[in-house]
Structures are given as C-alpha cells and as structure tokens.
Structure 1
Amino acid sequence: MSAYRGLILDFGGVLTTRMSLIGEAFERAEGLRPGAYLHALDEHPEGVAVYAALEVGDATQEEWNRVIGGILDIDPTDLMRRALAHLHPEPQIVEAARRARAAGIKVAMLSNSFGVEPYNPYEDKGLWTGFFDAVILSEREGVRKPSPLIYRRALEALDLSGPECVFVDDRDENLPPAEALGIRTLHHTTDPTATATFLNALLADRTPAGPDR
C-alpha cells in the first residue's frame, strides 16, 4: 500500500495541456504576433494586475476579458473561453489521478483560478464535479499560490497532514511553500509520461524515485 494518502494536482499545465502551447495556439487563432498573449499576462502592468486580482476573486472574468482584450486590441467577448480553447486534459495525468483515487488515495485539485463565470474551464474540460475529493480554487479562498495559506487549506480539505501528500505543479516557484509543510513535491515540466510514471508509483509499496526536487 502506498505511503501517501493524498495527491494534490495543479490544473493548467499539469492536468491539462502545457500553458505555453495553449498561448501559442491562441495567438495563431487570433492573428496575434508570437508572444503577445503571454506578454499581456506576464509583463504588461495592467495584465499582470488584473490576472492577480482575478485569481483571488477581486476581479471578475469579464473584467479580465476587457483588460486583456484591450491590451491585445482584440474583441473581448468571451475572451477567456477563446484563450483556453486549445486547453485539453492530459490523458496520462488524468488516468494516473483516477488510478490513485480508485486505490483509496484522496485526490485534490489546487488551482490559481481562471474564474468560473461566465466561463467555467474546469467544468468545460470535464475536470470538476465528481472527479476530485476536494477542489481548492484561489478565487474562493481569497489567496493564491505560492502563499503558504492555500496549501494549508488544501491539507484541511483533504483532512491530511503534509507528509501524507504529494503535490504536482508546473511552476517551480509554487513548490517550496508545499515542501515547507512536509509535502512531497514534483515539478512537472514537459514530459507527461515521466510525471504519470511517478504518480503511478504512488500505488505501489515503495517511495517513488521519479524526477522530483
């Protein structure tokens, strides 16, 4: 039996297609220059601010649509849906999560939120009702990764301690606060096979020796 009792997974980029690929596909679909969308999210002051506010529930998804649409000079109508049109569940990671849950390991999703109204990407991609034992969204918690508080909220939701859990995220900066709580971490990069192999090892009576920190 696995030594772990809880598995905590990030949404975008872990349970789904890599976010960089999603951004590139969106840029092509909208006729934007390469890198324009990611620049709007990660470097433009207004884009960074509205995304941070959306993640903690201080801005609505429609406000995000308007700001990001304005920065990119494109139609803001239903922009989040269009931006995530090429986001799809990653089959190997999803299957590993299903296997873990079938084996009695509690599975949670911990996501810095994209918002859920008017477009709910979690529901749209089939990763919502009934799939997880707990869903921890930053907009509901009023705090986002990498704040230590949101990891504690995830442990509380699972009713488990840090050393009983494994956390997988595609952003390296989100791992140290989890490690500080005793959670085993895995930095998911570009290889879903390697990550799925690591997660499947949780079902065996041994400590996974996968590509963790």
Structure 2
Amino acid sequence: MPRTCLIVDFGGVLTTSFDDAVRGFEVREGLPEGAVEKTWYRDPAMVELTHDLERGRATQYAWNRRLGRALGIDGTDLLGRIFADTRLDESMTSVVAQVRAAGLRAGLLSNSMGLAPWNMYRGFDIHASFDAVLLSAQHGMRKPEPAMYELILKMLEVPGDACVFVDDNAENLPPAEALGMATVLHRSVEHSSTRLEQLLGVVVPGIPQKEN
C-alpha cells in the first residue's frame, strides 16, 4: 500500500546544494579548495561545536568566531556568508505542496544551526508548509539521534511504516529505517520525485509524464 506521510530535511533537500555554496564561498574568500571542509568537518573541536549549535547549546556567534579564527578570516556572519549562494529549490518545495494537496501529511525534520544572524529558513514559511516542524535546536537534539525521528512521528500522529523520509545525508537514514520508514537519499529533484511517486502513489512535479 502507498505510504501516507512525507518527512523531509531542509538544507540540501529543499534548498540548492550546500556543497556548491561552500565552493563558491572559498573562491570569494580566496581560500584553497577544501579549506572549509578540512577546518569544519575534520577538526574534532569544530565538529563538537557544530553539534552543540545544532542542539541549541551554542550560538552562531561563537561558532562564527571559532571557524573564522581557524580559517584566518573575518568571522562576522560567517555561516551566512558560507551559504550565501543557497536558494530554495522550488521544484522540491512544489513536491511537498503537491503531496499535501493530495491529502497526505508532511513534516520537516531539520538539524538547524540557530536562527541569528543567519536564518536558514528565512523566506520560506515552514510552519504553513508542513503539518509538523521539528528544528533540532528547539528540542536539544540532532539527527541522527533516534529521539528526533520518534518525536516527529508523534507530532505527525503517524506510525513509521506510513512515512517516507528524504535526506541528503546518508548517515541520517538508518534511524528512520529502524522505525519502519522508507528512505530516499536526495541527490536530485528527478530522482527524489520518481521515488516519492512510487512510494506515495502521488503524481508529483519534476517528472515528465508519459503521453497516452
């Protein structure tokens, strides 16, 4: 039977590529290619600080200062500058709208990184666009902690086996699968749209429809 609920990540799923934005930032700042990844994702102290930020235990201001010092650049609004090139992916937001228009439920499950000075969700009314919204920092936890997935199911009032979960990070999929969700690793609108049409039984935008 088709599933009846869609749960999606935000950054990198409903937006354009974060990786592309990072590369553009490095060019603008005159940094070597890969400098942000090396300093952010491979430094245990920065990884820990990022996790604290996602759980709401640290501020963007502290995060910006730390990474700015590590990169040797100005840390003012650093997250905002790193992701300045990201935009809403209107094709994917249309998928969510079409799913809800078909009478299915939709939830947002996002590892947030604070809301100031950079607000990842600015310009998109997440609360009007979803039946339930779970931002990690507002609940003191982060994906892939199982409690995140359990809570969004409770908020949506659906069992795991009724849901499809879409995320661009493969590490975030196993906890969803453990609760019975079908999962989609987002790589393109075309791929995700095709899989969602198969799993939800709803025709969604992004797929050229066959002519009779």
TM-score, normalising length: structure 1:
0.89
Residue in 2 that maps onto 1:89:
88
Which residue matches 1:100? 99
Match of 1:198 in 2: 195
Query: Between Structure 1 and Structure 2, how many residues are aligned?
Result: 203
Q: Once the 2 structures are TM-superposed, how far is the Cα of residue 3 of structure 1 from its aligned partner?
A: 2.6
CA distance in 1, matches of 2:52, 2:39: 15
For 1:178, which of 176, 179, 182 is the aligned residue? Answer: 176
Match of 1:63 in 2: 62
Q: Which moved more, 1:62-71 or 1:89-98?
A: 89-98
8 Å CA contact retained: 2:55, 2:136? yes
Aligned to 1:211: none
| RMSD of aligned alpha carbons | 1.8
Asked if 1 retains the 8 angstrom alpha-carbon contact of 2:196 and 2:202, the reply is no
Superposed counterparts of 1:3-82, under 5 Å: 3-82=2-81
Gaps of 5+ in 2: 204-212
Specify which of 130, 133, 156 is matched with residue 131 of structure 2: 133
Q: Which runs of 4+ in 1 moved over 3 A?
A: 200-203
CA–CA distance in 2 between the matches of 1:88 and 1:115? 18
Amino acid at match of 2:159: S
How far does residue 187 in structure 1 lie from its aligned partner after superposition? 1.1
User: Are 1:145 and 2:138 an aligned pair?
Assistant: no
User: What SS does the corresponding residue of 1:11 show, helix, strand or coil?
Assistant: coil
Give the whole-Å Cα distance in 2 for the aligned partners of 1:160 and 1:144: 21
Out of 164-173 and 194-203, give the one that drifted further: 194-203
Residue 103 and residue 37 in structure 1: after superposition, are their counterparts in 2 closer, same or farther (change >3 A)? same
Overall identity of the aligned pairs, in %: 42
Deviations 1:16-74 (A, max 9, x none): 11221121111112211100111222102232121111011110111111111111111
SS at match of 1:123: coil
Work out the CA distance in 2 between the residues paired with 1:33 and 1:205.
Answer: 44
Q: Is the 8 A contact 2:4 2:200 kept in 1?
A: no
| Letter of the 1:104 counterpart | G
Report how far residue 92 of structure 1 moved.
2.1
Say which SS state the counterpart of residue 7 (structure 2) adopts.
Answer: strand
Residues 100, 202 of structure 1: 8 Å contact kept: no
Matches within 5 A, 1:150-169: 150-169=148-167
Q: What CA distance in whole angstroms lies between the structure 2 residues aligned with 1:179 and 1:166? A: 9
Distance 2:146 2:116 in 1: 26
TM-score, normalization by structure 2: 0.89
CA contact under 8 A between 2:102 and 2:202: conserved in structure 1? no
| Distance in 2 separating the partners of 1:118 and 1:19 | 18
On the 8 A contact 1:122/1:128 being kept in 2, the answer is yes
Tell me which residue corresponds to 2:109: 110
